Amino acid sequence: MTDGTDSLDGIARAVALHLRRQRLAYDTRYLRVRSAPTPATPPQVRPAPTTAQSRSARPKPAPSKSVDAKAALRSQAESWSAATKLEYLRKKNVGDCRRCGLCQTRQNIVFGVGNPEARIMFVGEAPGADEDRKGEPFVGKAGQLLDRWLVELGMSRADVYIANVLKCRPPGNRDPRPDEVERCSPFLRAQIRAIRPAAVVALGRHAGMLLSRRDDMSLRAMRGARLDYDASSPKEAPRSLLIPLVVTYHPAYVLRQSGEAEVGATQMVMADLRRALDLAAEA
């Protein structure tokens, strides 16, 4: 027989067991929910662009500022006067040129002088000692003879433009070297393109050879030939700007003659210069 204590104990144990089970069930459910790993967010995969899309999406290189500025300057310069073009060329392009070794021995760069609107342009080979000292072409005795020829034709220096193939004096008045001509001749071409003379007169065989690009002809042969100076720029088709070219004796050569030889040489020069005037009148 029991005194009832046993049955009370049994009831208490049963109640405690029930509570534990409930707590366990609650914890299990609760903890499962709390500790369950958050499902990972799948990485967002963008569709691969098509070839055309990827090309168009590629950043385009920004145009170079210096290229833009040069193009703008070129188009602006087309409307400049010949005088402005020559001044720009002298100051900005030739400047204190050091493109060839003659810069080391020159006193002055001899750019050119005369009328920027001239119909006739005279071109010598290179400055001599007087020109180097003064920075002006055809001064000294040879220049004075050229002035007399012009007067005989009813002109003056103010009517023509005078320049040389080389802008600096070769030491000892030696012949220009091919590399010097190659580096300096773009300046002369730019001068001729700015002035657009109706005819060019080359003074002396070397200037004639350099301008006509005929190194196989004597001065006598060049005098009688129909020649042109090709003033096309490197960006143009060759021979797209041809200017009639007359080759005659250099005044220094005529000064070295005497007697009949001097008279004969002077007559030939005057005939050549009149032919140049005729060509200019026809142009």
Q: What are the residues binding ligand SF4 (CB under 6 A)?
A: 94, 97-100, 102-103, 109, 166-168, 180, 183-184
Among residues 162 and 276, whose Cβ is nearest to ligand SF4? 162
CB of 184 to ligand SF4, least distance (A): 3
Among residues 169 and 250, whose Cβ is nearest to ligand SF4? 169
Q: How far apart are CA 231 and CA 252, in angstroms?
A: 27
In 3D space, the residue among 110, 101, 116 whose CA is nearest the CA of residue 182 turns out to be 101
For residue 162, the cross-strand partners are 113, 122
Q: How far apart are CA 193 and CA 88, in angstroms?
A: 13
In 3D space, the residue among 167, 162, 172 whose CA is nearest the CA of residue 195 turns out to be 162
Coil, helix or strand for 37?
coil
Report the 10 Å Cβ neighbour count for 59. Answer: 5
CB of 56 to ligand SF4, least distance (A): 47
The DSSP output letter for 90 is I
Question: Who's near 149: CB < 8 A, 6+ residues apart?
Answer: 251, 269, 270, 273
CB of 169 to ligand SF4, least distance (A): 8
Among residues 94 and 217, whose Cβ is nearest to ligand SF4? 94
Among residues 185 and 257, whose Cβ is nearest to ligand SF4? 185
Burial, 102: exposed, middle or buried (Cβ in 10 Å; 0-12, 13-18, 19+)?
A: buried
Among residues 186 and 264, whose Cβ is nearest to ligand SF4? 186
CB of 267 to ligand SF4, least distance (A): 34
CA angle, 229 then 81 then 159, to 5°: 65
CB of 103 to ligand SF4, least distance (A): 4
Contact criterion met (CB below 8 Å) for 160 and 137: no
CB of 104 to ligand SF4, least distance (A): 9
Among residues 145 and 181, whose Cβ is nearest to ligand SF4? 181
